[in-house]
């Protein structure tokens, strides 16, 4: 009996090319989910890093430690433009006398968002609303040394 040598025949357990290289949909889905989760977590972590203050619930008043930090921050960062004694420089004076009658909401907004078209930058990445509120209240009373 001649040997059966038909080329199209194959034994049922020999996989075809297509079967060998067929991507496993469950594996692809699983990998996709892992990648998406990874990026989501990475983005959240980054956001928390950039906005440490926003990541937590905002307390009404900053802690004593934070108030101390804010005092130094204002003296250094804001003093750069507003003058070391906050009596004005490139930026307008921020003394209690200079702020009499000004709306504290507007002053807070200036601190958080800056003043478009002026050198005054927004401080959102560094300060949250309760920080800005505390700074404005402190400025209006006369800023602590």
User: Measured at the alpha carbon of residue 50, what is the angle toward residues 49 and 53, in degrees to the nearest 5?
Assistant: 85
Which one of the spans 12-20, 22-30, 41-49, 87-95 is the region binding ligand HEC (CB under 6 A)?
Answer: 87-95
What does the alpha-carbon distance between residue 17 and residue 12 come to, in Å, rounded to a whole number? 13
Question: CB of 98 within 8 A of CB of 28?
Answer: no
Nearer to ligand HEC, 51 or 115 (CB): 115
Nearest by Cα to 74 from 107, 47, 117, 116: 107
Among 62, 107, 128, 133, the residue binding ligand HEC under the rule CB under 6 A is 107
Residue given tokens 């307008």 in the structure block: 92
Which one of the spans 22-30, 46-54, 59-67, 91-99 is the region binding ligand HEC (CB under 6 A)?
Answer: 91-99
| Residues engaged in binding ligand HEC (CB under 6 A) | 74, 77-78, 80-82, 90-92, 94, 102, 107, 110-111, 115, 118-121, 123, 135
């Amino acid at each position: 009996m001649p040997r059966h040598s038909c080329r199209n025949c194959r034994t049922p357990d020999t996989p075809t090319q297509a079967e060998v290289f067929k991507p496993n949909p469950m594996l692809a889905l699983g990998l996709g989910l892992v990648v998406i989760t990874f990026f989501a977590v990475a983005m959240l972590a980054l956001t928390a890093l950039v906005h440490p203050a926003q990541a937590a619930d905002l307390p009404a008043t900053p802690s004593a430690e934070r108030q101390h930090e804010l005092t130094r921050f204002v003296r250094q960062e804001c003093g750069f433009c507003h003058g070391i004694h906050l009596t004005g420089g490139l930026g307008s004076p921020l003394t209690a006398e200079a702020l009499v009658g000004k709306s504290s909401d507007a002053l807070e907004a200036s601190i958080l968002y800056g003043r478009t078209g002026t050198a005054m930058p927004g401080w959102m990445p560094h300060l949250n609303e309760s920080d800005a509120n505390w700074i404005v209240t402190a400025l209006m009373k006369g800023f602590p040394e």
